[in-house]
Each structure stands twice: as C-alpha cells, then as structure tokens.
Structure 1
Amino acid sequence: MAAGFGVSLPAVGSLTTAFAVGVIVGAPLVAMLSLRWPRRRALLTFLITFPLAHVVGALTHSFEVLFVTRVIAALTNAGFLAVGLATAASMAGPQAKGRATSALLSGVTLADTAGVPLGAVLSEVWGWRSAFWGVAIVSTSAVFAVLWSVPATPVDPAVPSVRHELRAFRTPRVITTLVLGAGQ
C-alpha cells in the first residue's frame, strides 16, 4: 500500500488509527444523530454506506480519499452497532435482551476474529484491494438480513432527545465504561 500510494508505512498505519478513532468518537455521535430516524432506515443507511465506503476505497488511487473512506466506514460501523444493539434488544423483548445483544456482539467478534486474518490472506494473495472488496461483498448481505427481519416502524415518540442523551456523560459509571472500552 505504501509503495502504491507513495506514502510512508506510518501513513498507511494511520488508516487503522483513523478507523479506530472514528468508531470510538463516532459511536455516541452517530447514535445521537440517528435517534429520530426509524431504526430500520438507520440500519439500512449504515449498511449501505459501509460497503460503499469500501468499494470507493478499493477503487481509489488517492491516499487522502482512502483515508476519508476509512473514517466514513468507521462512523457507519459505529452507527450500525449502536442502533443494532438497541434494535436487537427491543425486538427480543425484556426476557431475551441479553441473548439478543450477545448474539449481535458475538457476530461482531466473529467478524473481527475471522475477518482480519482472512483479509490479511486475501491481501497477500490478490493485493490489499481484494480485502476491501471482500468486506463490501460480505457486509452487503447484512442489508438483506435487515430488510427481512427488522420491521419498518415509525420513530417512537418517547425516544429521548439528544440533550437528554448527553446528560448521561455526566454519570461516572458511563464515563468509566467508555474509558475502559476505549482502552481495549
């Protein structure tokens, strides 16, 4: 990648940092921005934008464009996870919330555990762009899963406001959880 773009190895490493920071910063921001969207629409928006960012990344010959696609992919990943967790919990009902959120998080863990090494193998065999194409293809299938399983419902009028959500950051327990999660 570094040679292909004419950049340093640390510059290429910044792509991973950009994604990580995008997820950490983006999760609360994108979740708050999408509070007033119907959940199905929010999930589909994130799931369509995520593979598109990877397609643009795979096609570009500009390091700057690739960097921006990593940030966009991170934000949409964070948004999907935030809305997906809330959606899974609400669809499962009170007795199965834990099981539903565990299933979603298990899928994310599996995607990282299997996907990162698989992406490395694809990159070695067919070049780094193939890993981006692979992510785009695999994540597109999730669009169909959301279309099939998440009902189109209006926004719940009881959804808290952004201001209400921001008040949670005053809570020591929330701050501690975020700091511990970011340290992972």
Structure 2
Amino acid sequence: MKRLILSAAFAVFASAAFSGPQYVDETGFAVSGFDVVAYFDLPQSDIGARQTPPVPGRSDITAEYNGATFAFSSEANRDRFLADPAKYAPQFDGHCAYGVSRGGKVPANPNLWRIVDGKLYLNITENVVGFWEEDIPGNLTLAGDNWPGLEPANASDRTIPNFSSVAPVAN
C-alpha cells in the first residue's frame, strides 16, 4: 500500500515538475488560435498527403491551460477541452514533434498536424513532416526520451517560418 501511495505521489510530482510553457506565437494564442478540439473531428489524411486545414478559434470563446490562452470555434468545443485539456492540447507544449525528437524546442505550424494514438502532434515545415512521417513510432520514442530534459526549458520564442497565422475571429 505504501508503495502505491509513493508511486501515485511521484507520478503527480513528476508531471508537475515537467510542465513547461506552451508555445504561443504573435497571435497571443496557443496553436496560433486554432481550435485544438476541432482537430479530433477533422478527417485525417494518409501519410504523405496534406492534412485538412485546421479550424480557427474565436477570440470570445477561450480557455486557459498551461499558461496560455486557447481559442475555440464553439462553446461546445471549449467545454470538451475544459473537461480534459491534456487530451486535446498538442503534445510537447505545441512545439514541433520532430524538433523534439532531434533534441530541440522549435515552433510548430498548426497546419502541419497529425493525430497519433489519440494525441495531437504538430511540426514546423512540410519538409520536416516528411522526415517525421518516415518513422513516426521511432520519432515518438526519440521525442519521448528527449522531452524530460527539454520540458523545463522556456518555450521557443521563434516565429514559425513561412506561416501567416490567422488570429482567432472576433464575433
């Protein structure tokens, strides 16, 4: 019983200790203001094909999580997010998944996304998506191994290359 309690306490402590800052770009919103819940309702393209564009959020429908403001396209999506934010927030605090697999925190482009095993991953450029998709399981393993050492570091402060963000729509 004592081991069970210590294991539970360690799990809570470890997750709190490794909670780093969410990547936020010039829009002032996480994931450039796109609705993270909506990704899970979009059709996902095959490996090597361009993904469906993400759904912009609205500046009047937001929630705070991991030190950032997330925007949503509907109150229903915001409510789904609030019920389980870790389920919908992008992995690696919104940084490029391939970048993390290579040992760095770099920004991620919300148009370059993939859901793997029920988790949202973002990447930085179309070229990087190609490298990521060559071995998603292997890259996930590398990223998972690298992340604990990167997590406490600050979020990237770099701009997403070749990306014109669409700030959430005010209604």
TM class by smaller structure: under 0.3
Greater helix fraction, Structure 1 or Structure 2: 1
Greater strand fraction, Structure 1 or Structure 2: 2
* TM-score, with structure 2 as normaliser: 0.27
Q: Which structure has the greater CA radius of gyration?
A: 1
